[in-house]
Amino acid sequence: MQLLNKVAIVTGAGSGIGRSVALAYAAEGAKVVVSDIQEAEGLQTVEMIRQAGGESFFFKADVSSATDNAALVDAAVTTYGALHVACNNAGIGGASAPVGEYPIEAWDKVISINLSGVFYGMRYQIPAMLNTGGGTIVNMASILGNVGFAGSPAYVAAKHGVVGLTKNIAVEYGAKGIRANAVGPAFIKTPLLKDMDENTLNWLVTKHPIGRLGEPEEVAELVLWLSSSKSSFVTGAYYPVDGGYLAG
């Protein structure tokens, strides 16, 4: 088991990619703190982990709140005694408009969840990890942490920011036992895409040379590897998991 007896936090674990990551961590022996703003969905993830024989509890936290992030880390350490692994995954798509028309409040919301949320998470995860001699962090970026996408300026800016922030953690904490990496999924079949019509989804498929959208479990595999000691010499990196999107 790759994460036996490790304590892990996954944000946005009530749905989609975060749920798959939480299940993958638990299947590899981690005790998983499932966090989300959606309580019912988060509890459902915990139930799935327990049904499979794993150990988990739910902690409600809004990643755009620094105090919620502090409380989440505190709950993990108080309940399980340490923190070794974190996947900062919670995120939203946000409004669709070009920069010159982008609603200011929509910009603020996307940045507060998708970028500040990752910073706040690591701000409290890192001191807890240093107390246990180190740890691994995986931040959920996107292919849009590497290239632009018309109509999504806030999302693109936030995800590029996540990639940069991840590099800084590597530089600052590499010698202190903390590794941090960013993952860049292309379009993955999760509720995040629920507002897209069929034409848009079909067009998106054509952007992926592999000829389909991704599954959350395919992202979780990469996150698991980056979270485990199998990736012991990997830090500060950005790994696309994109069906060839960035190659096109």
Query: What are the catalytic residues?
Result: 155
For position 94 contacting ligand NAD by CB under 6 A, the verdict is: no
The smaller minimum CB distance to ligand NAD, of residues 174 and 218, is found at 218
Which token pair is 248?
A: 């096109």
For position 75 contacting ligand NAD by CB under 6 A, the verdict is: no
| DSSP per-residue codes, the chain | -TTTT-EEEEETTTSHHHHHHHHHHHHTT-EEEEEES-HHHHHHHHHHHHHTT-EEEEEE--TT-HHHHHHHHHHHHHHHS---EEEE----------GGG--HHHHHHHIIIIIHHHHHHHHHHHHHHHHTT-EEEEEE--GGGTS--TT-HHHHHHHHHHHHHHHHHHHHHGGGTEEEEEEEE-SBSSGGGTT--HHHHHHHHHTSTTSS-B-HHHHHHHHHHHHSGGGTT--S-EEEESTTGGG-
For position 18 contacting ligand NAD by CB under 6 A, the verdict is: yes
Options 59-67, 74-82, 126-134, 163-171: segment touching ligand NAD (CB under 6 A):
59-67
For position 2 contacting ligand NAD by CB under 6 A, the verdict is: no
For position 90 contacting ligand NAD by CB under 6 A, the verdict is: yes
Rounded CA-CA distance 82/138 in Å is 17
Q: How far is the CB of 90 from ligand NAD (least distance, A)?
A: 3
Which token pair is 153?
A: 């300026």
The smaller minimum CB distance to ligand NAD, of residues 29 and 148, is found at 148
For position 243 contacting ligand NAD by CB under 6 A, the verdict is: no
For position 140 contacting ligand NAD by CB under 6 A, the verdict is: yes
Q: How far is the CB of 229 from ligand NAD (least distance, A)?
A: 24
Q: Kindly tell me which residue out of 82, 192, 205, 234 binds ligand NAD, with binding defined by CB under 6 A.
A: 192
The smaller minimum CB distance to ligand NAD, of residues 12 and 161, is found at 12
For position 54 contacting ligand NAD by CB under 6 A, the verdict is: no
Options 22-30, 62-70, 77-85, 98-106: segment touching ligand NAD (CB under 6 A):
62-70
Q: Please, which residues bridge with residue 35 across strands?
A: 11, 59
Binding residues for ligand NAD (CB under 6 A): 11-12, 14-18, 36-38, 41, 62-64, 89-92, 113, 140, 142, 185, 187-188, 190-193
